Amino acid sequence: MKDFFLNFTKIVETNPRIYWSIIFGIAACLLLFVAEIVHVDQVISALNTKDRQILNTALEPITQKYQWSRILVMVMAIVWANWEYLKAKKKLGLSR
């Protein structure tokens, strides 16, 4: 277990792209969240209604698209981080 953590630390220290992939994923999700808030606010203003059922019907597809976009961004960030991790591991000769 100790060897695993030492190798993991060495791998992460040699390849800063691992950090960047995680930071990119978080920043992209935050950006999508803010875009969703602005988009929903504009739709609510354009509808100009207080009826909850109409609002829910209009906003459901929008929120679903943003939710799936955030999920896709996080999956891509995880795949990118894993790719960079495996590249660094291979470069250091730590592969089994």
How far is it, in rounded angstroms, from Cα 69 to Cα 47?
24
Is pLDDT of 96 > 70? no
Whether 52 maps to a domain, the answer reads: yes
Helices 2-14, 52-91: crossing angle, 10 deg rounding: 100
Q: Which residue has the tokens 């089994």?
A: 96
Whether 96 maps to a domain, the answer reads: no
For 79, other C-beta atoms within 10 Å of its C-beta total: 11
Structural domains counted in the chain: 1
Cβ proximity of 58 and 40 under 8 Å: no
Is pLDDT of 7 > 80? no
Which residues span the domain enclosing 30? 2-91
Whether 30 maps to a domain, the answer reads: yes
How far is it, in rounded angstroms, from Cα 45 to Cα 59?
12
Determine the pLDDT at residue 83. Answer: 94
Is pLDDT of 62 > 90? yes
What integer is the mean pLDDT of 60-89?
A: 95
